[in-house]
Structure 1
Amino acid sequence: MQISKSSALGQWRTNFQRNTAFKPRASRSSMNDRTVSSPATAHEKTGSLDGVLNFVKVLAASAVLLSGSSPALAVLNSPNAQIARSVDAALRRSIPAFNPDVKSIQKNLEDVQYFLRIPQRKPWGSMATNIADSLALCQLRDRMLAGVPPTSLPGAESLLNSLTASLRKLELAVKTQQPDAVSVRVADALRTVADLELLQAPALPFLIPKEYQALPRLVGRAQVELTLEKRDGSLGFVDPVVGGPAKRTTLVLTLDGYSAPLSAGNFMKNVLEGLYDNRPIQVNYTSVFVQAPTIQERPPIPLEILPSGTNQHT
């Protein structure tokens, strides 16, 4: 990880392109075939059979438009889309690691999580197959450790051993059909996969536009601690260790420089400069707002978007 600092001002610009709204409608030819009149008049002119045929034509035209919709719309309209449903999944999928064997294990384990959400008749056989395939890949140690820098090999080997042990426990939980144990152990295995991928990840897989080269950036991941306490000094929190009331609590925030290197770098720079120290926090149901002191003019930060399923930044 690295943070580069500069006081140069950047210009506001975003590469975000607004998507057009999708409104299914019939094609021109099918609209011409439709009869716009009262039901009685339509029945007199075309008969009930023609009305059914017209309905089928309109339905078919709408289906053609839907099938030709963009991938983003298809994901939003699909109830089976395996989008990131947790913070851990989103962080894991943003890691730009290119080891196909590790990615295959990640996909197998995420499929196990997906199968586990099926309410009835869970596909235990499919889960067992995915785990067996993952265990077989773990035996190919040279391939699994490909892409790890030499200085990080000892840590990567330890992670690979831990992953194999986690998969063995997961295999037993699936064999005995224990959903709760499977849920816990597949999450543990996926965390180990993410740690291994972080060691295999190179620098950013995309280039920062030259107009933003002077802005601070975070290449990789960082964690910062945020300590909170009530303004009136009351015991408004719960101690995570002893379980009793506490005056303050500490949150650990993960800054993801792979998804948004400029936003994460700017946040890290503000933390290092103490801009958030002793600042009041305004919280509602949708956001958390902190007003930084207006000591000096700050350079604007562009909107950064990492499309799901890719490592191409926009």
Structure 2
Amino acid sequence: MAAIISCHYCSTLPSSKLFTPKIPTNHFRFPFSQNNFLSRRFGPRCSAQNPHQKEVRSFSLKESAISIALAVGLITGVPTLDWSANAYAASPVFPDLSVLISGPPIKDPEALLRYALPIDNKAIREVQKPLEDITDSLKVAGVKALDSVERNLKQASRALKQGKTLIISGLAESKKDRGVELLDKLEAGMDELQQIVEDRNRDAVAPKQKELLQYVGSVEEDMVDGFPYEVPEEYRNMPLLKGRATVEMKVKVKDNPNLDECVFRIVLDGYNAPVTSGNFIDLVERHFYDGMEIQRADGFVVQTGDPEGPAEGFIDPSTEKTRTIPLEIMAEGEKAPFYGATLEELGLYKAQTRLPFNAFGTMAMARDEFEDNSASSQIFWLLKESELTPSNANILDGRYAVFGYVTENEDYLADVKVGDVIESIQVVAGLDNLVNPSYKIAG
């Protein structure tokens, strides 16, 4: 099985097919022994390097020291070195920790999806931000939170009134009527939330907030006019998701007396990962994952997608070969994804990914150790409590292709165990955004 943790996180788990992957090392290499805390806590066993794997250069003593500092910082959340401006200049090949751990990060999967839309309309974002901030306001105990909620609401209402013309002008022409209707519902909903606040009904705030943000997200989606860029020619004939799609994954949970069956709702983002999302949707429509067991669940990730037999990915019946897809990473400020290389390999050490590993249940592709373009069918969901992945300071962003988020029942991923069965995955919305569906060609 392809894995997702560097060789420096090798574990002492027993040898088995599940835990003998080729493990990628394209992220920061920590000069620790295999018996250290990271090794014991988090990764599968390492496999031997083969002659076709990429050569990885050795770190200098200085780089090793910085790597140690990064490792400690990742675990504790606090950087251990006070690097001066001269130090950064002397060692430009390492990312700025202030970038990695800047925050506060967005952890809500639906908020991440809203901000990841390919739009540039400041007016709607100024409505969205204070509505999102209601979540933090509600962290205050008791009804005192309502005063902060009211301030958020007034800010959002003012932004909507002042920016409504600009918001409407940003709607795609074919979607303008629907967008205007949604804005009217948003205004009415804000009035209803104001009444909730005046009634001091704290419990009713969060459901109404969610409703308002759904209106905002729908308006933002109506600002997207077609697919915003061309996929590189070498990948253009692959299954591509040119937009978004939603799937429901039904998992049979065997050993939890309180949870027999769970349905996870997952939104796939083809705007930022069209090849990765398209490949997955194509496999879903082939029923590739139906009946497959969960193959890894270690408190760090939940992983599946390794078919029975010697193959570690999907064998395309039309070619009788494993179908692989390129590593696909969209960075903030870019108009199209990067393909075939990690952000680190591209020298983009300070770049932030459009789809970050911030949310519990972030969904991404597993791949082989030294080959960026080796992903096929194996997928994983990150469980955010891991000490190795504090938001904005993890070693996964820019190295693995995120292509969606679990938006409903994500907390139950922590209850999923090895051997639990995926009964089915079904596309419930957005299938019409899939182009070049190979499952139809195969019949």
Using structure 1 for the length normalisation, give the TM-score: 0.64
- Number of equivalences: 254
Residue 21 (structure 1) shift:
8.0
Q: Which residue of 2 aligns with 1:215?
A: 238
**Cα deviation per residue 1:115-173 (whole Å; 9 max; x = unaligned)?**
44456997866654442232234345443222333442332223112211222233344
> What is the correspondence of 1:29-48 to structure 2 with a 5 Å cutoff?
none
Matched, 1:158 2:181: yes
Between 263-272 and 106-115, report the one with greater CA deviation.
Answer: 106-115
Q: Are the equivalent residues in 1 in contact too, given 2:243–2:271 (CA < 8 A)?
A: yes
> What is the correspondence of 1:248-287 to structure 2 with a 5 Å cutoff?
249-285=262-298, 286-287=301-302
The separation in 1 between residues aligned to 2:117 and 2:258, in whole angstroms, is 33
Residue 102 (structure 1) shift:
0.9
> What is the correspondence of 1:199-210 to structure 2 with a 5 Å cutoff?
199-210=222-233
Any stretches of 5+ residues in structure 2 without a counterpart?
A: 1-25, 29-62, 68-79, 308-313, 339-443
Which one of the candidate residues 5, 23, 35 is aligned to 2:66?
Answer: 23
The separation in 2 between residues aligned to 1:185 and 1:71, in whole angstroms, is 40
Residue 61 (structure 1) shift:
7.0
Between Structure 1 and Structure 2, the one with more strand by share is 2
Matched, 1:147 2:160: no
The separation in 2 between residues aligned to 1:67 and 1:83, in whole angstroms, is 24
Q: Which residue of 1 aligns with 2:328?
A: 304
Q: Are the equivalent residues in 1 in contact too, given 2:172–2:224 (CA < 8 A)?
A: no
Letter in 1 for 2:134: V
**Cα deviation per residue 1:161-190 (whole Å; 9 max; x = unaligned)?**
221122223334445665544333323222
Between 219-228 and 101-110, report the one with greater CA deviation.
Answer: 219-228
The separation in 1 between residues aligned to 2:146 and 2:262, in whole angstroms, is 41
Any stretches of 5+ residues in structure 1 without a counterpart?
A: 1-16, 25-58, 239-245
**Cα deviation per residue 1:64-100 (whole Å; 9 max; x = unaligned)?**
469989886324334xx13221211221111112222
Which one of the candidate residues 205, 229, 239 is aligned to 1:182?
Answer: 205
Matched, 1:86 2:108: yes
Letter in 2 for 1:169: E
Matched, 1:73 2:97: yes
Q: Which residue of 2 aligns with 1:290?
A: 305
Structure number with higher relative contact order (C-alpha < 8 Å, ≥ 6 residues apart): 1
Between 61-70 and 277-286, report the one with greater CA deviation.
Answer: 61-70
What SS does the aligned partner of 1:165 have?
helix
Q: Are the equivalent residues in 2 in contact too, given 1:226–1:250 (CA < 8 A)?
A: yes
Q: Which residue of 2 aligns with 1:108?
A: 130
Using structure 2 for the length normalisation, give the TM-score: 0.47
The separation in 2 between residues aligned to 1:284 and 1:179, in whole angstroms, is 37
Letter in 2 for 1:300: T
Residue 301 (structure 1) shift:
1.4
What SS does the aligned partner of 1:145 have?
helix
The separation in 2 between residues aligned to 1:64 and 1:230, in whole angstroms, is 52
Q: Computing the radius of gyration over CA atoms, which structure comes out larger, 1 or 2?
A: 1
The separation in 1 between residues aligned to 2:97 and 2:200, in whole angstroms, is 36
**Cα deviation per residue 1:261-283 (whole Å; 9 max; x = unaligned)?**
11100011112223223333335
